[in-house]
Chains A and B, each alone.
Chain A
C-alpha cells in the first residue's frame, strides 16, 4: 500500500509537471517562416549593441522594437549612422525580436513598461489595438506626416480616420518572377492575359520544365502569393475590397470563385509533390533554375539576386482579357510609431519626422530593394528589378490584401481561413465554390457590413 501511494504521488506529480509545461513553457518556439518579411536569409539575431560611447550630457538613447531581424545590419550600418550624423545628441539602438514572437513579446513589454521608445507597427488591427490600449501615441501633428497619402496611411489609422499612429515605412508588391534564360531558350514572351499565361505554362510543361514553382505545405503561399496576387484583377482592386467591407460583395461572387479556379488550374503545373513543398524549398527550386515561373512578391529581390545564377525577369499579375485595367497588390506592410510611455517624446518625434523625410525613403528603399517607400517622395532606385516593380504603380491601380483591414477581426479569422481554403483548392481537396462558401459562411458568423 505504501508503495502504491508513492507511485500515486509520483504520477500525479508527473502529470502536473508535464501539463504545467504544456500550459506555460511554450513561449520560446522556434521562429516560423512568416509572410512576407522572411524572404531574405536571416542573419543571426544578435543582442543589440550597447551604445559604443559613454553617454555625454543630454545625450538620449532611443530603442526601436522591430520584428525585422533580417534587417539588423542595414539599420546598424546604414540607417542609424545617417540619422546620428544629423542629430548627434540622439543615439538609436535597433533591437529586433524574431518575427513569430514579435506581437507577443511586444505586448508583454508594453504592459510591463519595458518596451523601447519606438515601435515598429504591424499593419491594421495589431497596431490599432495597441493604439486603443494607449500604448501608441497619436501622430496627427507630426511634421512630415503630410508626405503620406490616404492609402499609405490606411493601415495605421483609426476606423473613423481621426488618429494616425504610425509613420508608414514600406510596402511590398506582388507579381511573378521568371527565368529569363529559359523564356529566351523556348522563345516565350511575358504573358499579360490569363490565356497567354496558361499557354506559357503549357509550353513549359511540354518542354519538360517545371512551369510554376510553389508549394502548399506552409499554406500562406497559396493565399498570399496566389489568391492575393492575381485576385485583384478579378475583384478590381480597392473597389472589390471595399465592397466586401461594405457588404455589397461576397466571397461567393464570381471574381473570387474565378481566382480560386485559377489556383486550381495552376496546380497541374506545380512541382511533383507540391503538397509537401515548403516556402524555402520553392525558393531554392527557383534559384537553382529547376522551375521557371515563381508567383511571389517584391520582397524576394535581394535573396534571388544573390542566389540565382541566371537572368531574372518579372511580370505583373495577368489580367483576364487583353486591355483590362490591371490591379496590383501594393501591400502596406511596415510602419513605425512612438511608445506613448517613452521618456523622450521630443527626440522620438524627431526620429519619426526623419523617417517621414525623403532622405529616409531613399535610404531605406535602396538598402532593402523590394520594400518600397510609401511617402510621396520621388525616390530613385538603383536596383533594376525594384524599379520595374515600382513602375507598375504607374500602369496599374494599387490595392492591399483584402483580408487585412477590419475583416480579420472576428472568429473564425479570415486570413487564417484564406490560407486554409486556398491551400485546399490547390491540393484539390475542396472546390473553388466550396472555398467561397466556407469563407463567406465564416465571415457571416460575426461580421456586420459597415
Chain B
C-alpha cells in the first residue's frame, strides 16, 4: 500500500485561513448581490407574491416610456459626472502630487489639508457648498464681486444647464485627495538615481516628469481611473443630499444611483418598485463590471510595470 503523494493532499490550512473572510464576504456581499440580481427577474403581484417574469423588467427598462428616458438620461448624466472627474479631479490630483513630491517645508501641512475633505461626511460637504453657493447669503457671489467678476455668478445649483457640472465639481473638490495620495505614493517611490542620471544628461524638469516619472506611474494612473469609474457609477449620496431623490432641476442631476433609489424606495406619492429597482441595480453592476473588464484587458495587460 502506497502513501498518497504529499503534493496532492488537500491543503487544509489554506481553507482554514480563507474561511473567515470567505464566509463573511459570502454572507454579507455575495448572497445579497446574487439575491438582488435574482429579484430583477421577478414581478410583485397582489398580496406581495413574487412571480417569475424572465427578462420582462429589462425590456421595460429599455422600452417603457416611464423608464427608458430616465435610464438613458441617468446614464448620460453619469458619464458627464465621470468625465468631469477624469478631466478635472485626476489631472489636479496629479499636479498636486507632483508639487508635493518635490518636497518643501509645508509638504505635510498641505498634504493633510488637501486630503481633509475626503474624510468629511458627504452631508457636511453638501451643506457647506450649498451655503457657499447660496444666492441669498452665500459667500461665492461676494468673493467673485471682490475680484470684479460678480456678473459671472449665477444660481448654478438651480439651473438645469449648470447643476450637474456644479455638483460634479463639488465632488471633485471633496475627493481630489485620493488620486493625489495615490500619485504621490507612486512618485516618491521612484528612485532618485533615475532622475539624477537624467538631470546629468541635461533633461529639463518638464522632460524628467513626462519621460521618466509619468511612464513609471502609469499603472497608478490606471488604478486611479478605474477607482474613479467605479466610485462615480455608484455615486448617490452627494446628489441625494444636495438635490433630493428627484435630482432636480428637471432631473438634470439624476444619475444611476438616484434613479435606482427613486425606483426602489419610491418618492413622496410614488410607491417603491423593488423588482424594477433591482433591475436598475443589476444594470449598474453590469456597467461597472464592463468598465472593470475593459480596464483589465485593454489597459492593465498592456501597461509595462517596472520593478523599481
Residues of A within 8 A of B (CB): 3-4, 7-8, 11-12, 14-24, 26, 29-30, 32-34, 103-104, 111, 124-126, 129, 133, 215-220, 271-278, 281, 285, 403-404, 408, 411-416, 419-420, 423-424, 427, 429, 445
Contacts and interface: CB of A to CB of B under 8 A. Distances in A.
B268 A220 contact: yes
A30 B33 contact: no
A21 B237 CA distance: 12
Contacts of A277: 134-136, 155, 158
A444 to B, nearest CB: 11
B33 A274 contact: no
A420 B70 CA distance: 14
A34 B181 CA distance: 39
Contact of B296 (A11, A16, A413): A11
Interface in B274-308: 278, 281, 284-285, 288-289, 292, 295-296, 300-301, 305
A170 B175 CA distance: 46
A344 B237 CA distance: 41
Contact of A427 (B158, B226, B281, B295): B158
B234 A22 contact: yes
B160 A15 contact: no
B65 A445 contact: yes
B226 A11 contact: yes
A326 B84 CA distance: 51
Contacts of A17: 29
Given A16-B33, A129-B271, A276-B155, A419 B292 contact: no
Contacts of A218: 244, 248
The CB with the most chain B CB atoms within 10 A, among A3, A408, A411, is that of A411
Given A18-B288, A22-B281, A273-B135, A427 B249 contact: yes
A23 B32 contact: yes
12 contacts: A12-B292, A14-B230, A20-B29, A29-B261, A104-B266, A104-B272, A129-B271, A219-B244, A274-B155, A275-B158, A275-B159, A445-B66
Nearest to B267: A416
B241 interface: yes
B270 A415 contact: yes
B249 A15 contact: no
| Size category of the binding interface on chain B | 35 or more
Contacts of B98: none
Interface in B62-121: 65-66
A140 B305 CA distance: 76
Given A4-B301, A404-B269, A20 B33 contact: yes
A19 B130 CA distance: 28
Given A23-B33, A419-B246, A272 B269 contact: no
Contacts of B134: 273, 276-277, 281
B241 A30 contact: yes
A16 B234 CA distance: 11
B201 interface: no
A33 B250 CA distance: 18
Nearest to A7: B300
Given A274-B135, A275-B158, A408-B269, 8 more contacts: A18-B234, A19-B288, A20-B36, A29-B237, A124-B269, A273-B158, A275-B157, A281-B134
B156 interface: yes
Contacts of B41: none
Contacts of A15: 230, 285, 288-289, 292
A133 B135 contact: no
A396 to B, nearest CB: 25
B296 A8 contact: yes
A72 to B, nearest CB: 22
A273 B251 CA distance: 19
B281 A23 contact: yes
Given A16-B29, A276-B135, A219 B156 contact: no
A276 B241 contact: no
B231 interface: yes
Given A19-B33, A220-B268, A281 B136 contact: yes
A273 to B, nearest CB: 2
A271 B245 CA distance: 25
